[in-house]
Amino acid sequence: MLHHLLGRDITRKSKQLEGGSGRDSLNDLGPGSCNYGGIKYLFSDWPGIVMIFNGDSLHKFPSTRPRRLRLNRFLRNSVAETSLSTSNLIMPIFVTDSSSPQPINAMPGQFRWPLNEDLLKFVDELKSAGIHNVILFGVTGKKDPLASEATSKNGVVPRAIRLLKQSFGKELVIFADLCMCDYTDHGHCGVVKGSGEDYYIDNDTTLKIYGEIAVNYAEAGADVIAPSGMMDGQVKAIRDALDGDGYENVLIMSYSAKYASVFYGPFREAADSAPRFGDRRSYQMDPRNSFEALKEVAMDVGEGADIVMVKPAMPYLDVVRMVKDSFPQVPLAAYQVSGEYSMIKAAAGAGWIDEGRAVMESLTSIRRAGADLILTYFALDAARMLRNWDSLF
């Protein structure tokens, strides 16, 4: 939305606007047009500024033929507006206590990794392909109401972090997903109070535990703490806890706008984290809202988030774009979630779409919408295909 970017300047000078429909400023919303600085702005109903022309005479057929720029792939590559590289990608990894990799049924090609050579070999493969970012999710049978596996030094995630840091050091940036749902017997992301239909998730008690988990992961060697529980104030609680223990250089990537989405379905099998009762709609965002995402992001940035996130990615590309336009100075991640992965896998498995091209088009779309970083289960496949990026489009 251009008026986010230009609004202030143009509004200030709005009295000087010439011609057009007589609007006073870009804040005077509604259909119409105006001229400013030799540029004509056409408006549809808010929020769209639909077209911008450098004067009326440009971009008319036959002097303009957009197809000329698409004549061959060398030309197309020369004028491509969006790029994608391995440094944009983060690979989610499920870690667990088992002796061998366990396939995840609902996510063909994905595994739960044991803390041994198999995991190290897989991460080595990622690194050789150019992927240096991973985000860890713990899968465990050890569950209790307060997620003590997550605050324990011997929890599956801290052990995985130590193992990976020993082997790969700085060459691997370890993001640690921080939530309670993988480790609670009730499957909720925070402390449950009350009972029956009157249960609720106690925000501020949960924050204290999030702080403890963050310090536990940082102590093990995590580079980035990634809170995904959607508790209010979670970034501040984690920043305070980290700083209080001398981890001021550990980053926070917040799942700022995480929607209550059906597309998380396959993940819940992977992480064994489905809520045993109720759902997560009292803390995750309502899919009908987009402006609310700006409030969530603004709060997280104010509390000290280094990177913010929109999740899921593809059904929420409008939100990705809004966040990038409103906070261009803040690195933005988007999570191509398990359901997005499994839909592409299923359609490709049935022979309905070309998997490789679907992967690259979806990732490119997420970048085009404004994401700097993409969490994706396709990271390794994409890294390999990126070697031929110039011949893909």
Distances (CA, A) of 67 to 77, 78, 170, 232, 365: 14, 14, 46, 49, 21
181 lies in the binding site for Zn ion (CB under 5 A): yes
Choices 14-22, 175-183, 298-306, 342-350 (CB under 5 A): range interacting with Zn ion: 175-183
CB-based burial label for 115 (10 Å; 0-12, 13-18, 19+): middle
Tokens of 246: 């001398």
What is the number of helices (H) and of strands (E) in the chain? 13, 15
> Any idea what DSSP says for residue 19?
S
d(CA 108, CA 141): 22
The question of whether 258 is a catalytic residue gets the answer yes
Name the token pair of 389: 């990026």
Task: Please state the closest distance from residue 187 (CB atom) to Zn ion, in A.
Answer: 8
Smaller CB distance to Zn ion: residue 224 or 230?
Answer: 230
Is 189 a binder of Zn ion (CB under 5 A)? yes
Decide if residue 157 touches Zn ion (CB under 5 A): no
Residue 175 backbone dihedrals phi, psi, to 5 degrees: -90, 135
Residue 158 CB, nearest distance to Zn ion (Å)? 18
As given in the structure block, the two tokens for residue 211 are 């702080």
143 is catalytic: no
Q: Which residue has the tokens 């940035």?
A: 301
* Total residues interacting with Zn ion, rule: CB under 5 A: 4
CA terminus-to-terminus distance, the chain: 27
- Looking at the Cβ atoms of 92 and 370, the one nearer to Zn ion is 92
Query: How far is Cα of residue 286 from the mean position of the Cα atoms in its chain?
Result: 17
* Window 293-332: contact mask with Zn ion (x via CB under 5 A): ----------------------------------------
Q: Name the nearest CA neighbour of 319 among 86, 84, 47.
A: 47
User: Per CB under 5 A, which of residues 207..266 are in contact with Zn ion?
Assistant: 229
Q: Which is nearer to Zn ion, 179 or 251 (CB)?
A: 179
Nearer to Zn ion, 156 or 189 (CB): 189
With respect to Zn ion, which residue has the nearer C-beta, 17 or 209? 209
- Catalytic residue among 143, 236, 258, 324, which? 258
Which residues form the interface with Zn ion (CB under 5 A)?
179, 181, 189, 229
**Residues classed as catalytic:** 258, 311
